[in-house]
Structure 1
């Protein structure tokens, strides 16, 4: 292992960060390595050199598990830090990002995690651009909240919109159910229910307008509120790429400055600094994204149950547009498709208490068919 590779490994498993150098010095280090290193170069002449991700399981069956183990061990150290220590970790990620490039923006969702990331970032750089994607299916309260926050905090604020319509897109591409990383489950569910499923709405309505904004404003680094503890998929991804990585999707560096934060850390920070929260949280919502999203439809804590109570008019719009597809998906998932239920029955069946009973009914029916693809556990989307 060359000297630069030893430094990259030490930096990664200590801080989960790349090394940043001037272009000329960085190039000499790159040339000294016998292996091809992963790099990124800014417009200002800085170069980021990344610790290489592990080979695939097919290439080396032990590399990924070994790396994951080392990452989890170091994350445990980070998790034990108090709030002051967590803020210090976040600021170190941001300092590394600002060292790599001056052209940085905050990707703000209106949620509490990105609110904390935004507050930490603006205390370092008050004029940092703040961008939110208004998909057209955001909660009215969210849009009002972020606009008021932009005014109260005097943010360098940008609100961007997609060029596609959610209802038209889902009609053409399919509706989002079950989340990313559940391809097998989605395919089997789609075939049995005869309903097109797709996660293309996230790409077309969120990623595309964000990417266009970054390109037009020459943004090279993006600050997010992503946290490792939110899902297994994020933990696995973090083990491979760390707290500051290059994104092909956006052609920018992406910073996970809150990677080591837990739910309580977020709550403590918000309370300590008296940050104004999105009012949707006080209405019972745990996630504040697109109100018409069906990603967690087949979970007992689905946001749709809160939508029924808090925003019945929006829920009615959802049923009017996608009720038939929802009923077919629900029937197949619950193993009650033989009853040939239609959209009218959905209102009586898709309720928290009925969901729990149908979930139990489904499990009992699956006991003798454990290989059925619909009995696979799927990861709750975040």
Structure 2
């Protein structure tokens, strides 16, 4: 593996920059990416607040850059309505619908890393079994892998578990679009969203040219507060599911959904305070909630891991 571009301290310094500087640095990364590929680029557009900021930055420099939206069929209706209102967006289809994924591969639960290890451990993979037991692949103890140990109980769960859905419904369709069009992706992910994304940024920086699927991630050193401030400062349209952007306790928050993504995804749900997003969905989108919990069977999964999904009551 090549030497990392940035350190953790570098990232923390960049995250503390004022928004005006972050905008300039992100624009510089976008220009470099655009020129490197001779304009053959596209924006990976989810319709969420972060990718809305990204699209505005890119098209502020290059108005004709197309966008691609992965139509998973599990997005909030308000997200889909917003995407339809944005010009020059190509809708790409999943490799497999969600109901087939959970039947053949399993439910997305806890996190991508945990779900992947449960899936392969059940198939007898030694590396996955070792990590769920807190060891490295060579059998030596690992403090890092001990974070997986408490989820060994999922090996006995009466349902399948995997991380397959993200790849089948978003990543692979967008990679296919990139190959078919010859365009290189610009993505709106941030390092603060996960350890996985933080590690990728530290290793390559914003513009990753020499990986299997090259990608520009010019918002990597931004935070959620930056995205909200940008939306409020510019006044550009964004999906109505978020509601208004207001200040509470010295921070910007949305009065509606805090995050969007796939409605039926259970990754990270166990970490959310009540009312969690499934409990809110029961009130705001009861039809989709019923389909998810009962028809798709997500209710039995959440029951097993002890996560509530029905709306809070006053009693």
TM value normalised by structure 1: 0.64
Q: How big is the shift at 1:287?
A: 1.8
Once the two structures are superposed, the pairs formed by residues 19-38 of structure 1 within 5 Å of their partners are none
1:24 alignment partner in structure 2: none
Count, aligned residues: 267
Q: How big is the shift at 1:121?
A: 0.4
> What secondary structure sits across from 2:112 in the alignment?
coil
Matched, 1:91 2:55: no
1:320 alignment partner in structure 2: 294
**CA 1:351/1:247 → structure 2, altered by over 3 Å: closer, same or farther?**
farther
Aligned to 2:2, which of 50, 53, 56?
53
2:284 alignment partner in structure 1: 310
Higher alpha-carbon Rg: 1
Q: How big is the shift at 1:127?
A: 0.4
Q: Determine the C-alpha separation between the residues in 2 that align with 1:322 and 1:129.
A: 34
Matched, 1:268 2:229: yes
Q: How big is the shift at 1:236?
A: 2.1
Q: Determine the C-alpha separation between the residues in 2 that align with 1:95 and 1:238.
A: 18
**CA 1:243/1:206 → structure 2, altered by over 3 Å: closer, same or farther?**
same
Matched, 1:123 2:60: yes
2:155 alignment partner in structure 1: 191
Q: How big is the shift at 1:132?
A: 0.5
**CA 1:246/1:190 → structure 2, altered by over 3 Å: closer, same or farther?**
farther
- Contact 2:302/2:309, CA 8 A, preserved across alignment: no
Q: Determine the C-alpha separation between the residues in 2 that align with 1:177 and 1:189.
A: 13
Q: How big is the shift at 1:247?
A: 7.1
- Contact 2:95/2:172, CA 8 A, preserved across alignment: no
Q: How big is the shift at 1:350?
A: 3.7
Q: How big is the shift at 1:137?
A: 1.7
Aligned to 1:161, which of 74, 81, 93?
93
Aligned to 1:200, which of 150, 155, 164?
164
Q: How big is the shift at 1:190?
A: 2.9
- Contact 1:245/1:254, CA 8 A, preserved across alignment: yes
Q: Determine the C-alpha separation between the residues in 1 that align with 2:163 and 2:54.
A: 26
**CA 1:193/1:148 → structure 2, altered by over 3 Å: closer, same or farther?**
same
Q: Determine the C-alpha separation between the residues in 2 that align with 1:284 and 1:192.
A: 37
> What secondary structure sits across from 1:168 in the alignment?
helix
**CA 1:328/1:92 → structure 2, altered by over 3 Å: closer, same or farther?**
closer
**CA 1:189/1:329 → structure 2, altered by over 3 Å: closer, same or farther?**
farther
2:72 alignment partner in structure 1: 135
Q: Deviations over 1:239-280 (max 9, x none)?
A: 1222111475xx542111012212221112111211112111
Q: How big is the shift at 1:330?
A: 3.0
- Contact 1:167/1:321, CA 8 A, preserved across alignment: no
Q: Determine the C-alpha separation between the residues in 1 that align with 2:262 and 2:15.
A: 30
Q: Determine the C-alpha separation between the residues in 2 that align with 1:262 and 1:112.
A: 12
Q: Determine the C-alpha separation between the residues in 2 that align with 1:287 and 1:115.
A: 13
Q: Determine the C-alpha separation between the residues in 2 that align with 1:137 and 1:266.
A: 23
Where does the alignment leave 5 or more consecutive residues of structure 1 unmatched?
1-51, 55-66, 151-155, 335-345, 355-382
Where does the alignment leave 5 or more consecutive residues of structure 2 unmatched?
118-131, 133-147, 244-254
- Contact 1:300/1:352, CA 8 A, preserved across alignment: no
Matched, 1:330 2:266: no
- Contact 2:292/2:299, CA 8 A, preserved across alignment: no
The runs of at least 4 aligned residues of structure 1 exceeding 6 Å deviation read none
Q: Deviations over 1:311-364 (max 9, x none)?
A: 1111100122233x6435533x34xxxxxxxxxxx9xx544769xxxxxxxxxx
1:237 alignment partner in structure 2: 200
Matched, 1:216 2:180: yes
TM value normalised by structure 2: 0.77
> What secondary structure sits across from 2:113 in the alignment?
coil
CA RMSD of aligned residues (A): 2.4
- Contact 1:131/1:160, CA 8 A, preserved across alignment: yes
**CA 1:241/1:284 → structure 2, altered by over 3 Å: closer, same or farther?**
same
